[in-house]
Amino acid sequence: MSLKDAVGTPAHPADPATIPAVAERLASAAVKVTGCATPILALNELYGARLGTPWSQNNGQYRANILELVRALASRGTQPHLLISEAGNTAGPAGDWWRSLSESATIVREVYISAPVLEGLGPSGATVYLRFQLRRAVRNLTTIGVTSNRVGLALGFHSGRGGRAGLTATRWFGVVKREAFAARQVGSELALDSVWSWGWARFAGMPKDPTKATAACVYLWARSPTLCNARAVAGRAFDTSRAQPAEEGNRVRLRVLSPRHPVWLEVRAAAKLTARIGSVQEQTAGGWKSLNRIVLAPFHPLRMRLSLPNGRHVLRFFVAAESAPGGVAMRTPPAVVRVH
């Protein structure tokens, strides 16, 4: 449902007095259309997710309208899901807003990656890259305390930019398969609320894409082979293997590259830890003190420089906990560094 029609925009927010009536109308329509007393209702989509506080007066009212809408919808038995097209700014009071939002609505992050880009990475590279992007999208929220069961993902299988974007049919089917597998793995790993997909329909004025039905079959087959026979419809060139690149466990390592001033360190982390928050910590009389804050990155070791005074230091790398299954804090063994 159109969020803009319900709450306005950041520049022109709707009159807050209209929100209860809008919520009643949307909830009643959802129940009527679905025949379900507790229907899932998608709100498309939030404007200005990246805007940090302090917000303008108008944007503050816009965000307040959204909170009021999802609370009213939830109170009427619906399950509101708010779609967002980009990472949210979660610093300071903005983080409070996201946490409040998640109490009444599931936050669904759209992750649309152009198919030619994924194809260019090769099957294994594309799968690893997809998992990273999906995890990063989720952890934008779980690292501030939003629980992962209040987060969803949306994949785009439209014909244009961010979707197929001119890729040949057989290669497109391979990308669809890999996206579905990656979303299924990350969704299960982080116990997400839901995975959404869109782009299958053809609306008035859109050019005809004869591969849509087959691509949809591939997507369903990737979810479960019982849902559609992709082997029969996608052609002989379609790779029907369901094997996916394996990933090592939750491991992180710290290595001292140079103890000379300034100190150079290297961190290597398992792919499953990408996009989590980490820091180099130093042992002090009062406990462990964090010296920096970094986001773990994929594909390559992370190298960093620290300015430490000459002398003996005990360091470790610490990965903060997150609000997701298996998201416990972890740390490397202490390493003694004699800076000179």
d(CA 168, CA 273): 33
What pLDDT was estimated at residue 196?
97
Count how many domains the chain has.
2
CATH number at residue 259: 2.60.40.10
187 versus 162: the higher-pLDDT residue is 187
Q: What is the pLDDT of residues 206-236, one digit of tens each?
A: 788 889 999 999 999 999 999 999 999 999 9
First to last CA, the chain: 62
Asked whether residue 228 falls in the same domain as residue 265, the answer is no
3-state helix, strand, coil in the chain (%, to 5): 35, 25, 40
Asked whether residue 316 falls in the same domain as residue 190, the answer is no
What pLDDT was estimated at residue 140?
94
Is 238 within the bounds of a domain? no
Asked whether residue 216 falls in the same domain as residue 100, the answer is yes
CATH number at residue 158: 3.20.20
Please, which pLDDT band fits residue 274 given cuts at 50, 70 and 90? confident
Asked whether residue 56 falls in the same domain as residue 171, the answer is yes
Q: What is the pLDDT of residues 108-164, one digit of tens each?
A: 999 999 999 999 999 999 998 999 899 999 999 999 999 999 999 999 999 888 899
Q: What is the pLDDT of residues 23-35, one digit of tens each?
A: 999 999 999 999 9
The continuous run of DSSP H or E covering 280 comes out as strand 277-284
Residue 216: C-alpha distances to residues 22, 164, 206, 234 (Å): 34, 13, 18, 10
196 versus 246: the higher-pLDDT residue is 196
- Residues 325, 247: contact at Cβ < 8 Å? no
DSSP secondary structure code for residue 50 in this structure: T
Asked whether residue 290 falls in the same domain as residue 151, the answer is no
Is 281 within the bounds of a domain? yes
Asked whether residue 144 falls in the same domain as residue 198, the answer is yes
Determine the structural domain holding residue 300 and report its residue range. Answer: 252-339
d(CA 219, CA 176): 6
What pLDDT was estimated at residue 300?
77
* Average pLDDT for the chain: 94
Asked whether residue 159 falls in the same domain as residue 298, the answer is no
Half-sphere exposure of 160 (CA within 13 A, CB side): 5
What pLDDT was estimated at residue 263?
95
Is 86 within the bounds of a domain? yes
What pLDDT was estimated at residue 250?
79
- Residues 194, 106: contact at Cβ < 8 Å? yes
Of 101, 100, 187, 102, the C-alpha closest to 152 is 187
Asked whether residue 304 falls in the same domain as residue 171, the answer is no
What pLDDT was estimated at residue 268?
92
Asked whether residue 61 falls in the same domain as residue 31, the answer is yes
Pairing mode, strands 40-43 and 79-84: parallel
User: Which of 2-6, 12-16, 191-195, 297-301 is predicted with the least confidence, judged by mean pLDDT?
Assistant: 297-301
Asked whether residue 64 falls in the same domain as residue 159, the answer is yes
Is 290 within the bounds of a domain? yes
Q: What is the pLDDT of residues 70-110, one digit of tens each?
A: 999 999 999 999 999 999 999 999 999 999 999 999 999 99
Is 240 within the bounds of a domain? no
Has residue 69 got a pLDDT over 80? yes
Asked whether residue 163 falls in the same domain as residue 64, the answer is yes
Asked whether residue 215 falls in the same domain as residue 270, the answer is no
- Percentage with pLDDT > 90 across the chain: 86
Tokens read off for 275: 């996009």
Q: What is the pLDDT of residues 256-272, one digit of tens each?
A: 999 998 999 999 988 88
Is 217 within the bounds of a domain? yes
What pLDDT was estimated at residue 201?
86
